[in-house]
Amino acid sequence: GADGAGSGRSAANASEWKVGAYVSLSGEDTAFGTDSKEGIELAVEEINKAGGPKGKPIKILFEDDKSKPEEATNKVLQLIDRDHVIAILGEVASARSRAGGIVANKKKIPMITPSSTHPDVTKDRPFVFRACFTDDVQGRMGARFVVNELKKKKIALLFASDDLYSSGLATEFRDEAKKLGAEIVIEKKFLKKETNFTTYINEIKSANPEIIYAPIYYNAMAPIARQAKAAGVPGSMFMGGDGWDALELVRDAGEEMEGAYFTSHFAPDVPWPNSKDFVEKYKARYGGRTPSAIAAMAYDATRLLADAIGRAKADTPEAVRDAIAETKGFQGATGTINIDSERNADKPIVVVQIKNKQFTFHSAVGTNAPA
């Protein structure tokens, strides 16, 4: 018998733990992949320096999915069938984690996505986990922040209709905002390939909203911010979700985005001991650069996986799966992680504000934010 349980046997007999990581090292979301890789490598160096789980080092096999869901499917298949990995890390974008997760689950190899937040990614897939909160929580918290804290009740929505994450988070936000008595004055959808947003921005401007909720990725938000400014709409009028969280956003549109808020997993100045420790280690390792939320999440997911491999009752993918499922009180750089019965993480949500072209901690919501 070559397939199925064979991957578990080869992992147990080898002198190292082979773990697959599929990331977007090229294509439209390159920043997601490169930041993930840095976070994973930092964690693995640390883990292996300490001897590795059960005294064996972890070896990460990286695969570039080119920012495409179809490639995510292929790469996960390769990592399992060709490389016989014991577990898989990836991806950032929910659309690619869903694609990869379908394969991992079918092949019964545990997968942890560090930061994909769409509920579908883990739903009904017993081998698929995430180290982050889900978008039903993120959308709800975002709406509460807008309505209750910023006191904005006339809201515009702007999102990518053909992206799983963007349209999903827009839906969750809309539902909660309406419940809180806010009005969605206009809703504009664009396709991911769009580069000219001026018409959308002008229509939104005419609808006279107090705030524009834009749950989109950084690579769309940067041109939107610049085009909005040219149309007389300041970046501070936008509110986002974790998809904004790549340093490219402040590099490319930091000035335009001054004052804007978004919900995320982490901020470089988040006042928690484990986070501070991570920021120092990351800076020391990567030439003084500040880590993104994606790097922090990748670091946490890798350490969480190593912890589970070490606790697993056998050296098999099934036993590692069970150990991940039992994770409680894991001390991460992004807060304390409890894996719940649906394989999602119960985690604090961080509200980040863009100030002086930097991501700065504003507040944390959720039950288990460190004191």
Decide: is 92 part of the binding site for ligand PHE (CB under 6 A). yes
Minimum distance, C-beta of residue 262 to ligand PHE, in the bound complex (Å): 10
Does 116 bind ligand PHE (CB under 6 A)? Our answer is yes
Binding residue count for ligand PHE, defined by CB under 6 A: 13
Give least dist CB 117 to ligand PHE, A.
Answer: 4
Q: Does 348 bind ligand PHE (CB under 6 A)?
A: no
Q: How far is the CB of 19 from ligand PHE (least distance, A)?
A: 20
Q: Quick one: 98 exposed, middle or buried, by C-beta within 10 A (0-12, 13-18, 19+)?
A: buried
- Contact letters for ligand PHE, residues 158-197 (x by CB under 6 A): -------x--------------------------------
Three state DSSP letters for 216-266: CCHHHHHHHHHHHHHCCCCHHHEEECHHHCCHHHHHHHCCCCCCCEEEECC
CB closer to ligand PHE, 71 vs 315: 71
Q: Would you state the structure tokens that stand for residue 65, as one six-digit string?
A: 């999915």
**Beta pairing partners, 335:** 332
86 burial type by CB count under 10 A (0-12 exposed, 13-18 middle, 19+ buried): buried
- Nearer to ligand PHE (CB atom), residue 53 or residue 235: 235
Q: Judged by CB under 6 A, does residue 118 bind ligand PHE?
A: yes
Axis crossing angle, helix 293-311 with helix 30-49, rounded to the nearest 10: 40
**Contact status: 293 vs ligand PHE (CB under 6 A):** yes
| By CB under 6 A, residue 315 contacts ligand PHE | no
Comparing CB distances to ligand PHE, the nearer of 67 and 115 is: 115
Beta-bridged to residue 188, according to DSSP, are 158
Per CB under 6 A, 243 contacts ligand PHE: yes
Could you say whether residue 94 binds ligand PHE (CB under 6 A)?
yes
Stretch that binds ligand PHE, among 110-118, 186-194, 249-257, 301-309 (CB under 6 A): 110-118
Single out the segment in contact with ligand PHE by CB under 6 A; choices: 12-20, 80-88, 90-98, 333-341: 90-98
Residue 147, token pair as written in the block: 């309505």
Q: Is 129 in the site for ligand PHE (CB under 6 A)?
A: no
Piece in contact with ligand PHE (CB under 6 A), picked from 39-47, 116-124, 175-183, 277-285: 116-124
What is the helix (H) or strand (E) element at residue 142, kind and residue range? Answer: helix 135-144
H-run or E-run covering 338: strand 335-339
> Which of 294, 267, 279, 292 has the alpha carbon at shortest distance from 353?
267
Smallest gap from Cβ 265 to ligand PHE, in A, equals 6
Smallest distance, ligand PHE to C-beta of residue 97, A = 7
Among residues 299, 273, 271, 221, the alpha carbon closest in space to that of 35 is found at 299
Token look-up 């590099």 returns 251
Q: Which long-range contacts (CB under 8 A, 24 or more apart) does 321-330 make?
A: 321/108, 321/110, 321/126, 321/127, 324/110, 324/112, 324/129, 325/129, 330/300, 330/303, 330/304
Rounded CA-CA distance 202/207 in Å is: 9
Pick the binder of ligand PHE from 93, 222, 339, 349 (CB under 6 A).
Answer: 93
Binding site for ligand PHE (CB under 6 A): 92-94, 115-118, 165, 242-243, 245, 293-294
